[in-house]
């Protein structure tokens, strides 16, 4: 045994300090290193370039609703009605998504208040199978709209989706007219329907309830569109302008009413609710 080994074995060295491997995160846009806790405290917005990261459903509801809101139960729907399988079984994909997420599917609804103004908020979570729209998402959307009708208050939907869920085929596409009917019921009842478009909002979601709001608010630099940019370019055989399908471009061309920073979203929604549904005189 050499002298280094003897000294090392004889001295009471302290155990190696365990350091968490998730203390830092790299901003996907500016590539600056961010302290994870600061990033979370700032609602996943980069302090350097203001890039808006994706928020899960629970954090989004905490951002928008006052404390004490209640969650609507997740709807029970028939799973894997087509017995779909690609490289994996659909049921296995669902199990994996549920193991990695706190909710049973991609759409969650909270009922409460926004700065003391009654509201129901539905949130689409991109972390659950890309926020794809299947029967559970359609049913949850409709349940949120019905809750707003029962309470006589606004319905606010935060969208984030890659489109319809291909594993449910035509049944996923049927959610588009189903959700559209509920938005018409809200309109007939004189209740505000507000859409907050986040990154990304695409496909069948954009082609249905994402673009049927009384007011459309987008987060900065959010990708919003139906077909992908490359598909459009190949179809029309023309180059598309810079920033095409981004929130600021759509705002400039009248498809989005306003682009609002995440840290100002709650107060903006409260102001919009005051305009669309002012409090009744006592």
265/17 Cα distance (integer angstroms) = 41
* Contact between residue 252 and residue 229 where contact means Cβ atoms under 8 Å apart: no
Q: Evaluate the CA torsion angle 275, 277, 281, 282 in order and state its sign.
A: negative
Query: For residue 194, what is the enclosing H or E element?
Result: strand 193-201
Q: Hey, how many other C-beta atoms are within 10 angstroms of the C-beta on 192?
A: 21
Between the alpha carbon of residue 172 and those of residues 26, 65, 84, 179, 208, the distances in Å are 35, 29, 13, 11, 12
Q: Is 49 annotated as a binding residue?
A: yes
Interior angle at CA 36, CA 95 and CA 132, nearest 5: 30
The SS3 assignment for 117 reads: strand
279/196 Cα distance (integer angstroms) = 22
* Contact between residue 158 and residue 202 where contact means Cβ atoms under 8 Å apart: no
Q: Where are the alpha helices (DSSP H) in 78-198?
A: 90-100, 135-151, 169-173, 175-188
Q: Hey, how many other C-beta atoms are within 10 angstroms of the C-beta on 148?
A: 27
75/107 Cα distance (integer angstroms) = 10
Q: Is 27 annotated as a binding residue?
A: yes
126/162 Cα distance (integer angstroms) = 8
224/159 Cα distance (integer angstroms) = 10
133/106 Cα distance (integer angstroms) = 8
Binding residues for Zn(2+), by number, are 27, 30, 46, 49
Binding residues, by number, are 27, 30, 46, 49
């Amino acid at each position: 045994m050499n002298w280094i080994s003897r000294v090392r074995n004889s001295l009471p060295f302290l155990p190696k300090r365990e350091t968490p491997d998730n203390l830092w995160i790299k901003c996907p846009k500016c590539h600056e290193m961010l302290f994870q806790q600061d990033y979370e405290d700032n609602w996943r917005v980069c302090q350097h370039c203001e890039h808006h990261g994706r928020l899960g459903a629970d954090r989004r509801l905490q951002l928008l609703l006052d404390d004490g809101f209640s969650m609507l139960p997740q709807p029970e729907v028939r799973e894997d009605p087509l017995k779909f399988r690609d490289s994996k079984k659909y049921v296995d994909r669902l199990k994996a998504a549920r193991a990695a997420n706190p909710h049973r599917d991609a759409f969650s609804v909270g009922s409460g208040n926004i700065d003391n103004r009654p509201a129901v908020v539905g949130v689409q979570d991109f972390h659950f199978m890309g926020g794809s729209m299947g029967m559970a998402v359609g049913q949850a959307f409709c349940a949120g709209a019905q809750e707003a009708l029962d309470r006589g208050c606004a319905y606010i939907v935060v969208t984030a989706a890659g489109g319809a869920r291909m594993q449910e085929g035509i049944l996923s596409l049927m959610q588009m007219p189903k959700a559209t009917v509920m938005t018409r019921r809200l309109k007939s009842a004189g209740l505000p329907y507000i859409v907050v478009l986040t990154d990304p909002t695409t496909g069948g979601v954009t082609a249905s309830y994402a673009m049927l709001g009384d007011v459309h608010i987008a987060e900065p630099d959010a990708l919003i569109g139906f077909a992908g940019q490359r598909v459009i370019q190949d179809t029309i055989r023309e180059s598309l302008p810079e920033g095409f399908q981004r929130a600021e471009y759509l705002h400039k061309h009248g498809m989005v009413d306003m682009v609002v920073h995440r840290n100002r979203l709650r107060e903006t929604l409260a102001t919009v609710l005051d305009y669309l549904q002012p409090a009744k005189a006592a």
